[in-house]
């Protein structure tokens, strides 16, 4: 939910001349976090088991919630619409904006492909013939790819 809340909030708080830079900075941080999350999770899982990732993430979310409570400015958007009308307006904008529909579909398909690739890759790399550890699998995140031939984890004669 962070992306859906902080990106529009930052855009609305930024000066119009700096809005693109502010949104770009926040999006860069979000994408970097997504890429490095697998690496950090793999290292933590090797150190203390898979539960360690969830315990640490829970603690960090509490710390970030407290920091953001005090650091973010109080902001109230004024609107004449009630909550039901506000939700309905989203569908109205979607229905009347072909650019939004195209971007939403492209974003949905891109994220589906991204998720399918990285989820299935983790299972593949953990199984024979590779038998990679969580931290080794996590190293594929920042690189974005691995070598297909001559991989050190491959057994002789493996395709």
Is the pLDDT reported for residue 158 higher than 50?
no
| 148 within a domain of the structure (yes/no) | no
Torsion of Cα atoms, 134 then 138 then 144 then 149, to 10°: -40
| 158 within a domain of the structure (yes/no) | no
Is the pLDDT reported for residue 37 higher than 70?
yes
Per-residue model confidence (pLDDT) at position 117? 86
| 66 within a domain of the structure (yes/no) | yes
Rounded to an integer, what distance in angstroms lies between the CA atom of residue 99 and that of residue 120?
Answer: 32
| 61 within a domain of the structure (yes/no) | yes
Encode pLDDT of 130-146 as tens digits.
999 888 888 887 765 44
More confident residue, 25 or 146: 25
Q: Please give the residue range of the domain that contains residue 133.
A: 2-75+82-143
Rounded to an integer, what distance in angstroms lies between the CA atom of residue 148 and that of residue 92?
Answer: 47
Q: How many domains does the chain have?
A: 1
| 152 within a domain of the structure (yes/no) | no
| 153 within a domain of the structure (yes/no) | no
Instruction: Give the pLDDT band of residue 73 (cuts 50, 70, 90).
Output: confident
| 156 within a domain of the structure (yes/no) | no
| 25 within a domain of the structure (yes/no) | yes
Encode pLDDT of 92-119 as tens digits.
999 999 999 999 999 899 889 988 988 8
Rounded to an integer, what distance in angstroms lies between the CA atom of residue 65 and that of residue 62?
Answer: 5
Is the pLDDT reported for residue 151 higher than 60?
no
Rounded to an integer, what distance in angstroms lies between the CA atom of residue 65 and that of residue 71?
Answer: 10
Rounded to an integer, what distance in angstroms lies between the CA atom of residue 58 and that of residue 64?
Answer: 10
């Amino acid at each position: 939910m962070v992306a859906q809340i902080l990106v529009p909030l930052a855009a609305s708080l930024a000066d119009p001349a700096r809005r693109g830079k502010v949104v770009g900075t926040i999006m860069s941080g979000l994408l970097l976090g997504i890429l490095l999350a697998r690496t950090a999770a793999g290292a933590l899982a090797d150190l203390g088991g898979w539960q360690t990732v969830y315990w640490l993430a829970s603690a960090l979310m509490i710390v970030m919630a407290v920091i953001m409570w005090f650091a973010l400015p109080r902001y109230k958007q004024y609107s004449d619409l009630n909550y039901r009308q506000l939700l309905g307006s989203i569908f109205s904008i979607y229905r009347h904006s072909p650019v939004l529909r195209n971007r939403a579909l492209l974003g949905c398909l891109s994220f589906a492909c991204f998720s399918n690739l990285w989820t299935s890759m983790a299972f593949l790399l953990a199984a024979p013939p590779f038998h990679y550890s969580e931290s080794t699998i996590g190293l594929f995140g920042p690189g974005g790819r691995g070598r297909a031939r001559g991989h050190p984890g491959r057994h002789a004669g493996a395709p």
